[in-house]
Amino acid sequence: MSLDLASLNGPQRDAVLHDGSPLVVFAGAGSGKTRVITFRIAHLVLERGVPPRNVLAVTFTNKAASEMRARLSSLAPAFASRLRVGTFHSTCARILRQNADVIGLKRDFTIYDDQDQRAMVKRVLKDLALDPKRVTPKIVANRINRAKQEVTRPEDMPTDDPISEIVSRVYEAYEERMRKAGALDFGDLIYRLVLALESDQSLRESLSNRFEHILVDEFQDTNHAQFRLVRALASMHRNLVVVGDDDQCIYRWRGADRRNILDFRRAFPEAQIIKLEQNYRSTKRILRSAYAVIRRNKDREPKELFTENDEGGRILVVRTEDERDEARMVARAVQSLQEEGDPLSEMVVFYRVHAQSRVIEETLRTANIAYRIVGGTRFYDRLEVKDLLAYLRVLHNRDDDVSLLRIINTPPRGIGKTTIGRLLELAAQNGSGVFAALEEASEASVFGAAAKKKLGAFLALLQELARHKRELPLSDLGGTIADLTGYRAMLEKENTPESDARLQNIAELFGSMALFDEELTARRKAHEQVLAQNLERGPLFADNLDRDEAALLAEGDPLSAFLEGVTLQEEATQKDALTDRLTLMTVHAAKGLEFPTVFVTGMEEQMFPFKGTDPWEDPEELEEERRLAYVAFTRAEQRLVLSYATRRRVFGQLKNGVPSRFLDELPQDDIEQLGQPRRRAVPAYQPDPWDAPARPTPSSFELVTTDSWDVAQRAPRKEQQLADDAFEGDSYVDVTEGNDLYMGGGIRKGMRVRHARFGVGKVLAVSGGVPPRVEVRFPGVGDKNIVATYLEPA
C-alpha cells in the first residue's frame, strides 16, 4: 500500500512531501488541488506514521469534505474513517461539545441558523422596546455576524454613532438570550472556540497538541475568526498547510479576507510557498481568456496558469437581443451539441443572479430540454421541514425558545398573539425560558380560562411527544409527531399542489431520519465489533480507536446526533442521477466544478460586473467581479460560450445593455463574435477603470444622479431629473466619517433628516438599495424634491 507519487508533477510532489514548516500552496484552477491535499494526508499516515486522528483537514462545505473523505478512503482505506475531515463549522461544533464544560456551554446546545437568529434578534428588539423600523433585525443580525467574524465581543463594540450604540446593546442582550436558550448561532461556532482557545492556555495546549498536522482548503475564503482559529489550533506543532487561490476569492461580502492567504507569512514568517500553475482542465484559449481578465486585478499573488492541453476552439461571444433571445440561443446551442453526441450532463449554464434563471428555465421547458438547478432554497430551509424540526428541537432542548415559539401555534391551536405576548412577559418576569413560563401558565392570573386550557393542552401534547421520543426509534418519531400534532392532517386538508409538495417534503424528512437511524445503528455495531476484537488482541490495542467516535457512538442519543447533522448540512438525500440533465447555477455555486461546455449568460455591464442600486464605485467590488468571471471561465474544459443581451428586463423595467468590459478584455485572436457587434454610442465605462484615479475623498458619496445604464438613449428618469436640477455640477455630498447608516437602516419614510447643504427635510420616499436612495423635501429648496443616498437623521 504505497502512494504513487510519480503521478504528481514537481510542485505537487513538493507540497505532498513538505515537512518542517507551515506551507502555503497557491493552487490555481484545475491544478490538482484536492489531489495534493489527499495525497499529502495519505502520505502522512501511510509513510510517516502519523496517527490519523491527529490529522485535521478543514473545508468550507460539506460537499468538499465528503469528496475529500471519499478520495481518502480509496487512498488509505484502513485509516480514512479516523481522520478528522470536516467543515469549519462541524469541526468547531464537535470540539465545543466535547469541551462544553470547560468552555462554559451546555453540552447539548442547539445550533440556530440564520432564520432562527433573525427571530431571536427580533425578540430582543422587542424586549428592549426598540423600533424595528429604525434598526431592522436584518441590520442588527448582520452586524452581530460581522462582529463575530472579527472576534469582537459585545463590550468591545463601537458606540460612537447612534446606530452602533443600539447595535452593541442589542448584541449584548442577544448573547444573554442565546445563553439562556442554550443556543449558538453559526458565527458562534467559530467565535466561541476562538475565544476559548485564546483565553484558556491549557485548552489551547491540549487541542493544538493533538492536531499534529492541519490542512485547510480554500484558504482564500477564510474570515478573520477562522484564521485565528486555525492559528490557535496549529500553535503547538505548526504543521499547517493552507491551500487556496486568491484569484478565486469570491466571498468578500461574507467576510472572506484574501489577506489571510496573501499575508500568510506575516503570521507564520517561516512559511514556505509553493505555486501550482499547471492546469489539467482547460484548453489554452480558455486559459488565456481567463487570464486576460484576472491579470488586471492589482494586488494579487503573481502567477499564471499554463497547460499542455490543446489550443482548443475559439471562445464564442454572442450578442443577443434580449434575455429571451439569449435563452433561446442557449437552448439551440445545447440542442445542437446534443445532436453531436454531447450529453446534457457535460454542459452548464451560468448566470450572475438567480433572477436570470426564470427565463432560461421557461425556454428550456418549451424546448423540452431536461435541466436541474443547483442552489436556491435549501431543503432544510423549507417551511414545513423547519416546523417539524422545531418540534424535534424542542423535544431535545426545551429551552430552545425560538423553536418553541415557532410551533406553539403551528398547526393553529388557538394560541394567538395576545396569549403568546403574555407568555413572553411571564417568561421575562421570571427570567426564565418560554417553556418554564408555559409550565406555570396554569397558575398565572394573566391568562383567561380559555387560554389556560389551550396552553395546558399544548404542554400536554409536548409531554406526550417527549414520551414517544424516549420510546420510539428515530425512524418512527417524525411520522408520530406529524400525526399527533395534526400537522399532517393540516396539510392533507389543504389539498393543494403546494400542500402535496409539502407532504412530500416531510415524507422525505422522515426518510432521511430513518436512514440516519439505520446508519447509526450500523456504525454502532461495527464499532462494538472493533472494540471486542481489540480487547481480545490485548491491552496494547485497547486504545487503538478513536475516542471521539467511541464517545459519540456510546452515549449520544440518535436524535441529538441527527439534529446536529441537519443544521450543519444543507442537502438532504435526494438524487436523480438517472436522467441526463443540463445544469443551471449561479457563478458562485460553480466554484470547484468543471464542465466540458460552459455558457456564461448576461455578460453585460451592470450584470456582470454586477452593479446594484449602489451609487458608489468600490474598486474592491470590481476586482471581486473580475475574480468571479475568472472562476466562471476556468470551469470550462473545451468550450466556452459568453453571451450578452442588448436589452434586458431588470425589476420589470427594460434596460439597454452594453457588452461587459470583460468581453473587451479578451484576446481578440481567441474569440469569435456571433451576431452583430454593437456600435457603441456612449462609452458606458472607463476604458481602464483599474488605473482610474481614486475617488476625491474617501468619505464622500455620490448622489444618485444618473442611471448610468445607457444614459444617452433614454429620457432621464424622474428622479434623475430632480437630482440634476438640484445639483448642477455638484455631485458629491460630504458625510460625517463613521456615520454608518450604510447597512441600509436608519432612514425611513416620514423621518426628518439633515443634509449638509440643504438643512433639515422630510423623507418622502425610500426606494431600495444599500445605502437606500431617498427622496427628500427640503423646505429651503423650493418645490423640488432631492434624491440622495446619504443623509443624517435629524
Partner DNA sequence: CTTAGTAGGATTGAG
Partner DNA sequence: TCCTACTAAG
Chain positions contacting DNA, by CB under 7 A: 60-63, 87-90, 113-114, 145, 186-187, 250, 253-255, 352-355, 358, 375, 378, 409, 412, 414-419, 567-571, 585-586, 588-589, 610, 612, 614, 621, 625, 649, 651-652, 744, 748-749, 766-770, 772
Establish whether 583 is a catalytic residue.
no
Would you say 113 or 546 has its CB closer to DNA? 113
Would you say 99 or 586 has its CB closer to DNA? 586
**Nearest distance, CB of residue 551 and DNA, angstroms:** 20
> Whole-angstrom Cα distance, residue 285 to residue 278?
15
Per residue, the 3-state secondary structure of 636-654, as one string, reads EEEEEEEEEECEEEECCEE
Per residue, the 3-state secondary structure of 746-773, as one string, reads CCCCCCEEEECCCEEEEEEEEECCCCCE
Largest Cα–Cα distance of the chain, in whole Å?
Answer: 94
One of 218, 257, 401, 604 is an active-site residue; which one?
218
Would you say 612 or 667 has its CB closer to DNA? 612
**Which residues sit opposite 753 in a β-bridge?**
761, 793
One of 123, 386, 581, 635 is an active-site residue; which one?
635
- Tell me how far CA of residue 49 lies from CA of 23, 213, 611, in angstroms: 20, 12, 52
Would you say 174 or 186 has its CB closer to DNA? 186
Which residue pairs from 382-390 have beta carbons closer than 8 angstroms and sit at least 24 positions apart in sequence? 382/502, 382/505, 383/502, 384/487, 384/491, 384/502, 384/505, 384/506, 385/505, 385/506, 385/509, 386/115, 387/487, 388/478, 388/481, 388/482, 388/487, 388/506, 388/509, 389/509, 389/563, 389/566
**Nearest distance, CB of residue 311 and DNA, angstroms:** 32
Would you say 209 or 767 has its CB closer to DNA? 767
DSSP state of 606: B
In 3D space, the residue among 671, 678, 608 whose CA is nearest the CA of residue 317 turns out to be: 671
Look-up: residue for cell 507551515?
A: 22
In 3D space, the residue among 230, 246, 171, 150 whose CA is nearest the CA of residue 197 turns out to be: 230
**Nearest distance, CB of residue 250 and DNA, angstroms:** 7
Cα dihedral across residues 284, 285, 290, 296: positive or negative: positive
Would you say 280 or 742 has its CB closer to DNA? 742
**Nearest distance, CB of residue 532 and DNA, angstroms:** 34
Would you say 76 or 491 has its CB closer to DNA? 491
**Nearest distance, CB of residue 93 and DNA, angstroms:** 7
**Which residues sit opposite 766 in a β-bridge?**
774
For every residue of 293-309, DSSP letters joined together read: HHTT-SS------EESS
**Nearest distance, CB of residue 451 and DNA, angstroms:** 8
Establish whether 63 is a catalytic residue.
no
Q: What angle do CA 723, 725, 727 make, to 5 degrees?
A: 65
> Whole-angstrom Cα distance, residue 451 to residue 441?
9
Would you say 612 or 677 has its CB closer to DNA? 612
**Nearest distance, CB of residue 733 and DNA, angstroms:** 21
In 3D space, the residue among 95, 93, 120, 122 whose CA is nearest the CA of residue 109 turns out to be: 93
Q: CB of 698 within 8 A of CB of 343? A: no
Q: CB of 333 within 8 A of CB of 599? A: yes
Would you say 723 or 766 has its CB closer to DNA? 766
One of 188, 217, 564, 740 is an active-site residue; which one?
217
**Nearest distance, CB of residue 681 and DNA, angstroms:** 26
One of 12, 222, 226, 248 is an active-site residue; which one?
248
> Whole-angstrom Cα distance, residue 389 to residue 142?
25
Establish whether 217 is a catalytic residue.
yes
Per this entry, what is the length of the chain? 794
Sequence-distant (≥ 6) Cβ neighbours of residue 735 within 8 angstroms: 699, 700, 701, 756, 790, 792
One of 34, 278, 720, 721 is an active-site residue; which one?
34
**Nearest distance, CB of residue 672 and DNA, angstroms:** 29
Establish whether 635 is a catalytic residue.
yes
Q: CB of 233 within 8 A of CB of 263? A: no
**Nearest distance, CB of residue 529 and DNA, angstroms:** 30
Cell numbers found for residue 461: 401534547
> Whole-angstrom Cα distance, residue 187 to residue 403?
19
**Nearest distance, CB of residue 92 and DNA, angstroms:** 9
Would you say 15 or 658 has its CB closer to DNA? 658
Q: CB of 723 within 8 A of CB of 705? A: yes
Sequence-distant (≥ 6) Cβ neighbours of residue 339 within 8 angstroms: none
Establish whether 248 is a catalytic residue.
yes
Would you say 322 or 476 has its CB closer to DNA? 322
One of 12, 33, 110, 136 is an active-site residue; which one?
33
Catalytic positions: 33-34, 217-218, 248, 635
